[in-house]
Amino acid sequence: MTLQVQSQISLRPYNSFGVDVRARFFADAHNESDVREALAYAAVEQVPLWVIGGGSNLLLTRDVDALVVRMSSRGLRVLSDDGESVVVEAEAGEVWHPFVLWTLEQGLSGLENLSLIPGTVGAAPMQNIGAYGVEIKDVFAGLTALNRESGELKDFSLDECAFAYRDSLFKQQAGRWVILRVRFKLHRSVSLALHYGPLQQRLQEQGVSEPTALDVSRAVCSIRSEKLPDPAVLGNAGSFFKNPLVSAELAAELKQAYPGLVAYPQADGQVKLAAGWLIEQAGWKGFRDGDAGVHKLQALVLVNYGSASGAQLLALAQRIQADIAKHFRVQLEIEPNLY
């Protein structure tokens, strides 16, 4: 027995919104054997098991009557290296940003645009994390997950993960798989994704004309630090809504009514609208109701000024959804995982 289970624990330190709810049971899982022990413990106690990482994509609206298991496994390794392509593997509990820095230190490119995203490696496939034009599907080489029902291990290929915009098989089948370790195919040669305007602009401002992967990482970190609230200072879960995909017809109508509309045509004919722009346009930026609010610098981010409950944050989100539907005929979808 290595699993240390605690009872009636506040989850406030374990979610980046800083929402104060209690978990009936809580434990850290340092390896696969701990996860299996936790499953057995939950079965005996007749409670569900709920796996979390850094808690940076959660909105907790009530006490959690479950065994909450925080993935705390560690380990980084190079699996293969042909001089150009390098496959690296990280344990689920590794913290994402230090992992990205480790790959850059090895002289590898591929993850630089995903710098400074909070959370763990194991949660990254859940919503196919993405930023500045790169998603993990672009560098994904496989993962190993535990099937909670059968207890079997399964290696997933890229195709089997059904990655899509902020989505995956693991999100669709929430609670079925525990992701244990993830593999990435990275490169020694530099092939950078620089098509996002703010990234190009920041590199120019910094006087970098031939950027390395490390330069891109630094530029991403500097933009993010200016624009996004640090959860250690102000509770938040990053973007609270997904950017909506709408028909080309609706996008054209909206563009006529709102010439400043931020819209990006997609390969499939749909158009992605910047949800933050819609929310700002509707007047919500900087709005505050008690301790629940909309961030002053980025309207896509809901914030907890101190003691907002998950229910208060959710109520604010629902008011924004209704208002955006009324103004723009666009339904915003909540991005964080609700409990």
Q: Using CB under 6 A, list all residues that contact ligand FAD.
A: 16, 51-58, 71, 92, 117-120, 122-124, 126-127, 129-131, 174, 177-179, 228, 231, 236-238, 337
Is 335 designated active site? yes
- Of positions 53, 119, 231, 238, contacts ligand NAP by CB under 6 A: 238
DSSP state, residue 136? G
Q: What are phi and psi of 173, to 5 degrees?
A: -105, 50
Q: Which of 166, 181, 202, 218 is catalytic?
A: 166
Contact 11/60 with Cβ under 8 angstroms?
yes
243 forms part of the interface with ligand NAP (CB under 6 A): yes
- Of positions 124, 161, 219, 228, contacts ligand NAP by CB under 6 A: 228
Rounded to whole angstroms, how far apart are CA atoms 291 and 289?
Answer: 6
For ligand NAP, give the closer residue by CB, 24 or 272: 272
Q: Which of 89, 94, 135, 335 is catalytic?
A: 335
Question: Which residue stretch of 14-22, 78-86, 153-161, 192-200 sits at the interface with ligand NAP (rule: CB under 6 A)?
Answer: 192-200
Shortest CB 240 distance to ligand NAP, Å: 8
Rounded to whole angstroms, how far apart are CA atoms 128 and 96?
Answer: 13
Nearest to 58 by CA among 96, 97, 12, 98: 12
Is 222 designated active site? no
Query: Which segments within the chain are labelled E, that is strand?
Result: 6-10, 22-29, 49-52, 58-59, 64-71, 76-81, 85-91, 130-131, 134-135, 140-147, 153-156, 177-187, 235-239, 245-246, 263-265, 271-273, 288-289, 292-294, 301-304, 337-338
From edge to edge, which strands make up the β-sheet containing 6-10? 6-10, 22-29, 64-71, 49-52
- Of positions 13, 83, 197, 269, contacts ligand NAP by CB under 6 A: 197
Is 183 designated active site? no
Nearest to 333 by CA among 267, 254, 272: 272
Relative orientation angle of helices 213-227 and 96-105, to the nearest 10 degrees: 150
276 binds, among ligand NAP, ligand FAD, none (CB under 5 to 8 A by kind): ligand NAP
Contact 61/292 with Cβ under 8 angstroms?
no
68 binds, among ligand FAD, ligand NAP, none (CB under 5 to 8 A by kind): none
Q: Which of 16, 56, 168, 239 is catalytic?
A: 239
Site string for ligand NAP, 117-156 (x = CB under 6 A): -------------xxx------------------------
258 forms part of the interface with ligand NAP (CB under 6 A): no
61's tokens = 């609206």
92 forms part of the interface with ligand NAP (CB under 6 A): no
Shortest CB 63 distance to ligand FAD, Å: 16
Shortest CB 237 distance to ligand FAD, Å: 5
99 forms part of the interface with ligand NAP (CB under 6 A): no
For ligand FAD, give the closer residue by CB, 53 or 244: 53
Contact 246/126 with Cβ under 8 angstroms?
no
What burial letters (b/e) apply to 252-277, b meaning 16+ CB within 10 Å? eebeeeeeebebeeeeeebbbbbbbb
> Could you give the residue numbers annotated as active site?
166, 239, 335
Site residues, ligand NAP (CB under 6 A): 130-132, 195-198, 227-228, 238-239, 243, 262, 264, 274, 276, 298, 300, 335
